[in-house]
Every structure is written in structure tokens, then in C-alpha cells.
Chain A
Amino acid sequence: MAAILDAQGLHKSFGAVTAASDINVAIEKDSVLGLIGTNGAGKTTFINMITGYLKPDRGRIHYEGRDITQLAPRDITRIGIGRSFQIPQLYASLSAFENMMIGIGVVLWNAGRGGYFSRGRPLVPGYDLPAEQVAERLLERFGLAEYRDKNAQVLPGGVRKLLDIALTMVARPKILLLDEPTSGVSAEEKFAIMEMIMQAVRAEGITVLFVEHDMEVVSRFAERVLAFYDGRIIADGPPDEALNDPEVKRYVVGGELHRLDAAQARPRA
């Protein structure tokens, strides 16, 4: 199957620290990739380079055959790559519905609809519905209907994560990069949230890359796993294969277990 996204020879350093070293990844359309690795392994740097927040020192990134290496985040968003954040990036003083409406407004603006001289209620591209209906529909799809009129800053952590992803969906991306969609969410809620996200996202035929520390979540939802360590990809393959790779077991899964053990061993207040 043709690659929708192709990153070749990516390298990124911050002073003496190498955050990405010779990253080569071709991502197929309609696939679901899990990105694993300990903190500082280079997962978020990889996402930041794909979405234009960071520019690689070397290497190129192609999306649908087009070189996007030097594009700004807004241009990358416009051509179909969306992202959510580890810490949800919302409009804190606005309600969930208003958050959605701002996003939809930008989509309308970029499509040349809803400008100063436009009349009536323009239809949102890709949805062919008025803005309010698109907002309601997406809120419902992500289980956020009951939070519609609540300010984003007072929403619980898991709900904020979902709103962050729902917000990304207004532009109907072809690729969605989710940075730790279940971090800060209780172990019991993780699967339910991932299930909801995947259902909503996969129904649109979107290619998904998600960063995750929980290996059970990764093995359940990812079709392919990229394991990062020290800025490099040390394993790339189906979950069974990648998670059983000796290097991954030693540096990533072991690291995660060590992290978990350390957290459990910490005295409780």
C-alpha cells in the first residue's frame, strides 16, 4: 500500500542532546501506529517534526508525495495532518461548544466560506452541514454532549483530552497524531477512552499515530509499533513482534515497568 507519510533521515539535536537520529519511517494509509518509548526517547520530537513545530536539522518529510519539511504548523494542518497534545491545548475561557465553533470557523475561513460578505449559514467542508450541527455532532461522537456549555478550564482531565481530539477533527485530517491520549486518565478509563477515540477516528478512515506508555493499550489498538530509544527507532513492526524485541524489552518495556515499579514504591501522602 502507498505511504501517505514518508519521513527519511530525520535528525534533530538540542545542543549536545540528540532527540532524533536517522529516523526513517513510511506510514501507510489507513494504518494505526503506536509510538512507544521512555520519556525523552524522541516520540514527541518526532511528532513535533511531522507537524511543523520543530524543523529537522537533516532529513525530509513527504506527505502524499509533497515535501512538507519546512511548512508551518498551520499549513500542515490545512493539508490534512492534525494533532492532539499531551497537555490538551484548548481555549480555556470558552465552553466546549465555543471551542468547536472557533475551530470550525477557521475551517470555514480557510475554505473561503464565512467571510465578511458571505450570507446565510455556510456549510462546513467535508461535513456539508452548518457549523452548529457539526459542533454538536462531534461533541456527541466523543461523548462530550453533556459538557457542551462548560468552560474548558473546569473540565476533567479525560474530557479535556477528548475535547482536544474532537477539536482536531473539525478539519477532517487524513492523519491524526495523538500525543499520549490517555495520560492522566485512570487505568479503568483508558480502554474506554481509546475505544471511543478509535471508533470516532477510524470511522472517518483516518490514519492514526498515537504515543502511549501502556503496553496493553498499544497491543490492543496498534497495528504497527514504532519503538523509540535515545532518539532512534529500535523496533518497527506488528505489536507482537515489536514488543517482544530484545532491545525493546530491555530499553522500553523494561523502562516502563521500572517506571511503574518506582511509582508504586513511592510512599503515599
Chain B
Amino acid sequence: MSAGRAPFTLALILVVILAVGPFAPQWTLFLLTIALAKGLVVLGLMLLLRCGLVSFGQALYYCIGAYAAGMLGRYFGMSDLFTLMLAGMAASALAALVLGFLLARYRGIFFGLLSLALSMILYGLLVKTEALGSSDGFHVLPSTLFGVRPADAWVRYAVLAVAAVVAVIVALLVHRYLDTPLGKLAPAIKDNEIRVEYMGASARYAIHVKYVIAAALAGLGGALAATTVGHVDPEMAYWTTSGEFIFITILAGTGSVIAPFLGALIFGIIQTVAFGISPNTWQMVLGTSLLVVIVFLPHGLWSLFRRRKAA
């Protein structure tokens, strides 16, 4: 599948989700919504990875988005899904805008570990903050849509529908961004920053922009996850959460804006099935699946579509 067909494919996926959703079991709706939330985070990671940057701390912005959404309900009684997602996105983007001045100066392992350190600082702060429930976190108000609380049987579908529409719009926006000169600069930054500078562009500025976009997407994903699960806790900033996002990024590949969502869905399915079969060793199944992908599909699951096209 070529990147040029991505808008059509995304529209088709959206139609399928909206059409099939009402008939699907509740647990699959939950699984899909969480996959969309994580897919949004991974979409941001993909932008950074295309520049050669691996963030080991993207959970920082996932957590900020989730807590921002949760705190709006906790302190202001707000529960509108759109408002919460916007707030999560804005809070994370703002944090990234500030931290980006530091992070955009670093490359390679320094960028990765610095981002990890920042996420662990947030984790430490949240664990010690009693007002926010310390290590237990706190409950998030049930979602409403434009002030209306959908009937219980339809809540999961309504949240999924909103999540799917938002995810498709965001994926289309990112798809468009990748086609702009700034978006196309990513592989050039990865290959040769000196040449980028001597072409008249600022690699640091380009990275800063991508970093903020990635954080905004993570914040959006975090807010969506918080309202879907109905709970936030400091684990959302923990390094294992960041690791999960990197896992999905590698699993999915960076070939298309659809890949992160596909990767997140497959990750969710593997995790759910593996946990069902073997609750104590489910991580082993996940690890093995990643190993298989790295060995046989080094460019991720998305390369399967490329291979089919090449064949």
C-alpha cells in the first residue's frame, strides 16, 4: 500500500469501525479505543524516529495528557470528551514546547536518556503528590459528549466513535505534514545534519517542532486513555509505559501514518490473548513476537504491505 493511498484507507477504516462497532462485543470496543490512544502516541514517536531520535520517555506526555484530562474533571467537574482531549493535548504540547528547548539540542542516546529522565521525574513527583492520589492515582469522571451522557450500553461505542474520528483526522493532518518540506526533512536530519544546516534549514528547529507535535499526540492519546479506562495513576509516566510505546513503534514500522494504529491494535491483541493463555508469562509471548518481527520484518509490520506491492 502506498503512502498516497493513506487518506482513502483511513476513511475506509473509519467507516468500518463506525459500521461494525454497534455489533461488536464491548471488550473489543475497549481494546480498539485503547489501541487508538496508544496509536496516537506511537504516531508521534514515528515522527521522531524518522529523524533518528528515539524517545525513551514519551510516557511523560502521555501521563501529562491523562492527568490534565483527569484533573479537569476532579477540580472543575468537566467531563466532555472533546474538551478533555483538547486539554490533554494542549498541556503536553506546552510542556514539550518548554522542554524542547533543552531536548532539541541532544541526539542519539543522550536524547533518549534525557527524555527517560524527565518522565521518571514526573513519575516521582506524582507518586509523592497526595493531592493527586499518590501512587494510587485517581478516578476520572465518566465521559460526556456535548453535555450528554450516552446510555450505558452505548458509552463504549460513543467513545470509540469519537476516538476513531479524532484519530483519523489527526492521522490525515500528520500525513499532510509529512508531505511538507519540514516533514520531508526528517530523513535528511537523520542522515546528515551538517548538510541540512548548509542547505539553509535549522535541524534544531525542525526537531523542536516535531517534538512538540509528538508530545501533543501523546497528550491526546493519554487523555483518551484516561477517559476510556476511567482512572489515571503515575504508572502512566513510568519507563515501562514508554517501553511499550517503543515496542509498538518497532512492531509497526514507520512507513505510514496507519502503521502506528495497526501496531497498537496488534500489540493489544497479543497482550490480551497472551494474558488469557498464560497470566504469569504473557511478557514472554510479547518479547518473542517482537523478536520475530525484528528478525523477519526489520522495518516493522507495515513492510508487509510494501513487500506485497513490490512483488
Q: Which residue on B lies nearest to A109, using beta carbons? A: B181
For the complex, what is the distance from the CA of A89 to the CA of B198, rounded to whole Å?
9
Chain B residues with CB below 8 A from A115, complex form: 180-181
Question: Interface on A for B, CB 8 Å cutoff?
Answer: 51, 72-74, 77-78, 82-83, 89-94, 101-103, 105-110, 114-116, 167-168, 170-171
Interface pair B192/A90, CB less than 8 Å apart: yes
Chain A residues with CB below 8 A from B194, complex form: 89
20 interchain pairs, CB-CB under 8 A: A72-B197, A72-B202, A73-B197, A74-B200, A74-B201, A82-B198, A89-B198, A91-B187, A91-B192, A92-B191, A93-B191, A94-B187, A101-B184, A102-B188, A105-B181, A106-B185, A107-B199, A107-B200, A116-B177, A171-B199
Tell me the B170-190 residues at the A interface (CB within 8 Å). 176-177, 180-182, 184-185, 187-188, 190
* Residue B195 is within 8 A (CB to CB) of chain A in the complex: yes
Q: Which of B185, B197, B199 contacts A167 (CB 8 A)?
A: B199
Tell me the B143-182 residues at the A interface (CB within 8 Å). 176-177, 180-182
For the complex, what is the distance from the CA of A91 to the CA of B201, rounded to whole Å?
14
Number of A-B contacts (CB under 8 A): 77
CB distance from A87 to the nearest CB of B (A): 10
Q: Which of A89, A110, A171 contacts B195 (CB 8 A)?
A: A89
Q: Which residue on B lies nearest to A168, using beta carbons? A: B198
Chain A residues with CB below 8 A from B187, complex form: 91, 93-94, 102
- Report if A73-B201 is in contact (Cβ < 8 Å); known contacts: A94-B187, A109-B182: no
For the complex, what is the distance from the CA of A170 to the CA of B196, rounded to whole Å?
13
- Report if A102-B185 is in contact (Cβ < 8 Å); known contacts: A89-B192, A114-B180, A116-B177: yes
Interface pair A105/B185, CB less than 8 Å apart: yes
- Report if A78-B200 is in contact (Cβ < 8 Å); known contacts: A102-B185, A116-B176, A116-B177: yes
